[in-house]
Structure 1
């Protein structure tokens, strides 16, 4: 019998979640099989995933029609569809949640991306989503924007599980972990238990390499003065995202040694795990499992789209590597300052965060428009 490498990864302390959710995989039993037999122990979703799931899919028509008959506005019809899928997925993952004492078994749903820069609106929607979905193992996704992090702190203090998404820079990740710590401290100071709250920090990968590789290719296309500069530039391609992630993991290790975290851990707090996101390889010349193989390590999560799950199950090279070649990772990021390379990593991260929000807003708005069209079709004349 062929080895399922996803199951081997668990032995290194990393959990594999799936970055996909549709009603089809719930109804067909595919999700249940992935959970029970393939090592999948969590689900992440986002507006782009739901747009693909709902658009043009007749499986949702009866519920859309019911929403029309009930006189619900488009946004409420959208929520009724998505919340049902999230609840059903939570039920399928509940045995994992129970078996791991709340470490895994979560299903993530994102607050509307249109409010990414509005702290109060984010807090309000996170509370409402958590209450209306009504499942212990739901995680509310909040973007790690300047406005998002105070919302993370507040909702953590209220006992809501949070997946902080769209993290690109190491500093944004550090800020995110401290927002989690402040939320737990506030909750503990109010006399509430902190041992049943969970959080992950979704640190994005492939989008970083796509952005930086594009800049390098543009420089190479213009022409470089000599072969040494050419070699410097090519040495960076496809390497920055993994180096950046390895440095973030070193920051994680520093924070969990801090006395403030240690005090919370003594009260039973769960660590906020780094979750590797955006893990499908965009450049076909790179390994299709490079963002899995190079970042396996303890107390981490990797969320994979279906194609990467299949590829990893087949040919991942499983070993704990998140702490290998760490010095090289620091050197690689430092090398971006070399005048011959001249890439401002902070500017890249800011650009990616702006683009990342846009990549969720556009499908969200597109889905609302397509739902409007379908509502018109299904509405009585």
Structure 2
């Protein structure tokens, strides 16, 4: 029984926010599964950019792709898909034992098409078909252009990880997109019991942005509120989950509830506890996807103290109101974070394509 197991007892399972060929081939991922109670993996363009741009693990496959005249775009996805398939196989037993809830591995659509609904849906369907593992999840961003693709993908029986959610307002839109998609899937004759989904709500990036603005305001009241927005905002998202989705009454019989997933949970400010976005966001029916350094910090600190989500709505509303009163314009904050979130993934993807073009040349 370790701290990650204690977290699971509180209702929050742990997924690793990283994947690489090295982790798979060296047995590192299998060891993490066996010793650190990790039950899933998430990826994103930045993770694959870091993995493929360093070391020699991909050299053999790159040589094969080069000989076949493969473009950089197709080469990147060929390698990503191979890693996701291998990870899915490592998690197959957990997937079976959890009834499909866990043992999941996520792969993201091209961030450059996030405002093109048709292109996003087409790629989601292609990735689902090509990975060809029941425990894969297709990551689709919660942008206005992609939300209809979330509904359409679910309606086709595809398990979806809806990502880049920063505000409770956007999260409610994600909930509605999920409910519509599952009900359409039922109408389409799909077995809804096999469709699973998570909604990835980003945490630490909010504190980074809000803390910067509070520092610029500079008042004693503003500075005292640093490090408060991320937890309060996430707890309000959980309150929205409890209010609109948790009981499953808006879903057809046999459907699985879309779980909130806490993403970006590695602290960016070294003055904050490395377990802040874990111990303070534990509660029923949730997932926390962490970088390995955060997982290790949780294991070392062993300070999980039960459900810290349920019953926190009023306190969190008061915190957000105090931040607003101090001068934080949350509409602008959330617009900035969503735009920058897509831009960062696009930049990482483009850097990876540039690197791959050079290696294939």
TM-score of the two chains, using structure 1 as the length reference: 0.92
Query: 1:257 Cα deviation (Å)?
Result: 6.2
Query: 1:19 Cα deviation (Å)?
Result: 0.3
Q: What is the aligned-residue RMSD (CA, Å)?
A: 1.2
The answer to whether the Cα contact below 8 Å between 2:2 and 2:302 also exists between their aligned partners in 1 is no
User: Of 296, 319, 338, which residue of structure 2 is paired with 1:332?
Assistant: 319
Query: 1:232 Cα deviation (Å)?
Result: 1.6
Verify: 1:249 aligned to 2:238, yes or no. yes
Verify: 1:370 aligned to 2:355, yes or no. yes
Equivalent residue of 1:141, what SS? strand
Verify: 1:290 aligned to 2:279, yes or no. no
The answer to whether the Cα contact below 8 Å between 1:289 and 1:316 also exists between their aligned partners in 2 is no
1:48-87 per-residue CA deviation (whole Å, 9 max, x = no partner) reads 0001101032110110010011111111111111110000
1:309-367 per-residue CA deviation (whole Å, 9 max, x = no partner) reads 111111142121012543221011112332xx111111100110000001100010000
The equivalent residue for 2:225 is 236
Query: 1:191 Cα deviation (Å)?
Result: 2.6
Tell me how far apart the structure 2 counterparts of residues 351 and 182 of structure 1 sit (CA, whole Å).
28
- Mapping of residues 141-160 of structure 1, within 5 Å: 141-160=139-158
Equivalent residue of 2:39, what SS? strand
The answer to whether the Cα contact below 8 Å between 1:4 and 1:314 also exists between their aligned partners in 2 is no
Equivalent residue of 1:195, what SS? helix
Equivalent residue of 2:107, what SS? strand
Q: Which ranges of structure 2 fall in alignment gaps of 5 or more residues?
A: none
Tell me how far apart the structure 1 counterparts of residues 35 and 131 of structure 2 sit (CA, whole Å).
26
Which of structures 1 and 2 has the bigger CA Rg? 1
Verify: 1:307 aligned to 2:293, yes or no. yes
The equivalent residue for 2:267 is 281
The answer to whether the Cα contact below 8 Å between 1:152 and 1:179 also exists between their aligned partners in 2 is yes
Tell me how far apart the structure 2 counterparts of residues 145 and 322 of structure 1 sit (CA, whole Å).
26
Closer, same or farther: CA 104–209 of 1 in aligned 2, 3 Å: same
The equivalent residue for 1:224 is none
The answer to whether the Cα contact below 8 Å between 2:222 and 2:323 also exists between their aligned partners in 1 is no
Verify: 1:321 aligned to 2:311, yes or no. no
Verify: 1:270 aligned to 2:256, yes or no. yes
Q: Which ranges of structure 1 fall in alignment gaps of 5 or more residues?
A: 221-229, 377-381
Tell me how far apart the structure 1 counterparts of residues 71 and 97 of structure 2 sit (CA, whole Å).
39
